[in-house]
Structure 1
Amino acid sequence: MFQTHVPSFPPAQQAQIIRAHQRDLIHVSSLREQTDNILRSWFGTRWLTRFDKEVELCVRLVYEALTTGRVIQTLGEEYTNTWVHPKWARSPRIRAALILLPIIPPYILTRLGPSLYARCPRSKGIANAAVNALEVAGEVNLALFYISGVYYRLVRRLLGVPHISATPIDPNTRPPSYSLLGILILVRIGYRLLNYFRARSPPPALSIVDEKSPSADNSDEAQLDGRPVSTLLNYDPEADLASSDEKGDLTILDLETVPGSVRASRTCTLCLEERTATCVTECGHLFDWNCIYSWGREKAECPLCRQSLNLTKLLPIYNL
C-alpha cells in the first residue's frame, strides 16, 4: 500500500505577517471609503456621521466573514502567501472568536459606553481602566511579536492560532529581525507605568502662604499665562470652561439673552449640538471647531458642499 505524504509548512516569517496585516488594513480602509461614499449619497452626511461606528462595524464584519469565516485567505494573507493553520481554521468556534473578539468589544465600549456612564457613574472608572488595560496588553503583545516572531494580534496569542507559509525557508538567507522595536515598545510601556504610579502617589505637602503676608504681594512672583501661580492653586478649569461658553472674554454675545429659536440655528451639522467654538471654512459653512477639525483630519473636504478643506485656513468666529 502507498503511504500518502502530508506536507509540512514552515511558520510564517515576521515580515510576511506584518505585510499581510498592512494589506488587510488597506483593503478594509478602501472598502470603508467606498461604503461611506454610497451611504452619503443615499442618506446624507448627518446620517453617516451619526452611524459611523455601525458602518465601521459592518464593514469589518463583512470583510472578516467573507475571508476568515469561509476558511479562505484574507487579501493580505493571499498577498504574502500565508494562511491560518488548518488545525485551527477548521473549527467554527475558533473562526468566530477570530472574527468577533477584535471587533465587538471595542464597538460596545465606544458606542454604549456613554449611556452606561450616565446610568452608573462608577462604571466610567472601571471602563476606562479596562480600556487602558487592553491597550497595554495589545502593546505588550506587539512587543512580544517583534521579539519572538509569532502572534501579531492579541486574540491569536490567546487562542494559540499561528500563521504558516507556503514559501520554503532559504537556509542561506537571514530573515530581518525586529527585536529592537520590541525592546523599545517595552521601554515605552515601562515609562508610561512609571508616570502612572508617580501620578497616583500623594503630592508633597505645600506650605500655605497668607494672602496678607508681604510675600503674597511680591511683584516678582512667577506667572503662568499672565496669572500669578498663587491664584491658580484653587483654580477650577471646569467651572471656567462652563462659564466661557455663555459669557466668555472673547465674545460680547450673551447667549442667555438670545431667544430659543435663534439659538436653535446655532446647531453644528456634525455633532447636532449647539456650537460653542464656532469657526468658518473657506466655502462659508459654520461648524464647531473640534468637529470640523476631527473631520478634516480624516477627509479633506467640507462635509456639506464637498469642496476642499484646508485646516490651516479655518477662521474662528466669536460672536455668531
Structure 2
Amino acid sequence: MIPRYSFPAAQQAQIIRATQRDGFHLFTLKDQTESVLRSWLGTRWLTRWEKEVDLIVKLAYYGLTTGLAAQTLGEEYTDIWQSTTSGIGVSQRSRLALILLPVLSTYVVARLNLRHPPGDSTLGKVRQSLPATLEIAGEVNLALFYLRGVYYDLVKRVLGIRYHSSVAENPDSRPPSYSLLGVLLATRLAYRLISWLRFRRITADPSKDISGKESQTPAGLNASPEAFLDDRSLSSILSVRDPESKPPIPAEEDEGTILDIRAIPEEIRDSRRCTLCLEERTNGCATDCGHMFCWDCIVGWAREKSECPLCRQSISLPQLIPIHNL
C-alpha cells in the first residue's frame, strides 16, 4: 500500500482538465450512439428515449473505467487518480456509489416528474423542487471547489474521495488560482437567494409588487390572460404529457386539415414530411424560426430541449404556432 504522503494532491487545473476531457469523450460517445440509433429506429424514437440513451452511455463509460478501479480517459490525460481522505484506494462500494448516485438521481427525478406530474400536495411540491435543489447544491459545491481546490463533484465530497497526482509539485511555480470564479458563483447564489425570498414574500402577499409596495393592478385582473386556440385554452393543450408517445396517425386521418390528402401528388406529399418522426406531418406546427413539424413531435422535443431541432434557435412551448390546412 502506498502512503498518502508519497504523492501530492492534484491541482485544481488538473481536476478541471480531467473533467472537461471526460465530458468531451461522453459527448462524442453519446453523439455516435445517437447517430446509430437514429438510423435504425428513427428520430421520433430517439427523442422519446433520449434520457435513457444518455443514462446508458454514462453508465457504460464510468462502469468500464471507475467501476473497474481504472482511470477515466480524463484522469489518465492529466495523470491523476482517486483515493480516500485516508490515502487508501477507493472501495468497490464507494466506486459503485460514485457511478450511480450522480447519474441515477437526475434521471429518476426528471422521468418521475415527466411521467407523473407533481400535484399540489407536499410530496408533489418536494418533487417539483428537487431538480432546482440539486442544481443549487452542485453550484454551492463548485464554488467551494474554486475557493478551496478539492472535491469538484458533490458526490465525491459526500464520499470523501479526493484526487492525487503522480506529477511532483514544482516549488518554483505558483499554480493558477480560481478563487475569483468561486466568488462570482457565490455572488450569483446570493442573488438567487434574494430573488427567491422576494418571490416568497410576493406569494405570501399578492397585493404587493416585487419592491414591497402596494400593487397597482386592480383586484380580479390577471396580468397574463389565458390564450385560446379556437375553443381550447393553450394551457390545456400544452398540459398533455408525452404526446410523442402516441402512435402516429396516417395523414389521411389528420383532423387538423380540411385538405384532401389523397388528392395531393406524391412529390408534394414527400415535402410534407416531419423531420422528427420522418412521417407525413399531422396537426402541423411551426416554430418562430419557420420550420414545420407535427404538433406532437415538436411539443415532445421542446419539453426536452428548448431549441429548434434544425437550426438550434431557441423555442418555447407557448410560442409554438399550430398550422391548419397545410
2 CA distance for matches of 1:17 and 1:5? 21
In structure 2, relative to structure 1, the CA distance for the partners of 1:88 and 1:79 (3 Å cut) is same
Q: CA RMSD in A?
A: 4.0
2 CA distance for matches of 1:236 and 1:180? 40
Q: What pairs with 1:1-320 in structure 2 (closer than 5 Å)? A: 8-85=6-83, 87=87, 89-117=89-117, 122-201=122-201, 202-203=204-205, 205=207, 234-235=221-222, 237=224, 240-241=226-227, 243-244=228-229, 246=231, 261-263=253-255, 270=276, 275=283, 277-279=285-287, 301=310, 309=311, 311=313, 318-320=323-325
In structure 2, relative to structure 1, the CA distance for the partners of 1:21 and 1:261 (3 Å cut) is same
Is contact 2:119-2:125 (8 Å) kept? Answer: no
- For the residue of structure 1 that corresponds to 2:6, the secondary structure is coil
- Aligned partner letter, 1:244: L
**Number of aligned residue pairs:** 275
Structure 1 range deviating more: 192-201 or 145-154: 192-201
Is contact 2:283-2:322 (8 Å) kept? Answer: no
In structure 2, relative to structure 1, the CA distance for the partners of 1:89 and 1:269 (3 Å cut) is farther
TM, length-normalised to structure 1: 0.72
- Aligned partner letter, 2:21: R
How far off is 1:292 after superposition?
6.6
The share of aligned pairs that are identical, in percent, is 40
2 CA distance for matches of 1:24 and 1:234? 52
Is contact 1:142-1:152 (8 Å) kept? Answer: yes
Is contact 1:279-1:286 (8 Å) kept? Answer: no
1 CA distance for matches of 2:91 and 2:181? 33
- For the residue of structure 2 that corresponds to 1:99, the secondary structure is helix
Is contact 1:22-1:76 (8 Å) kept? Answer: yes
How far off is 1:12 after superposition?
0.3
- For the residue of structure 2 that corresponds to 1:263, the secondary structure is coil
Unmatched 5+ stretches in structure 2? 209-215, 234-251, 259-272, 315-319
TM, length-normalised to structure 2: 0.71
In structure 2, relative to structure 1, the CA distance for the partners of 1:199 and 1:275 (3 Å cut) is farther
2 CA distance for matches of 1:138 and 1:5? 31
Specify the structure having the higher radius of gyration (Cα).
1
Unmatched 5+ stretches in structure 1? 207-228, 249-259, 302-308
Is contact 1:270-1:291 (8 Å) kept? Answer: no
Which structure has more relative contact order (CA 8 Å, sep 6+)? It is 2
Structure 1 range deviating more: 285-294 or 160-169: 285-294
Aligned position for 1:211: none
1 CA distance for matches of 2:223 and 2:197? 24
2 CA distance for matches of 1:108 and 1:236? 35
Aligned position for 2:262: none
- For the residue of structure 1 that corresponds to 2:125, the secondary structure is helix
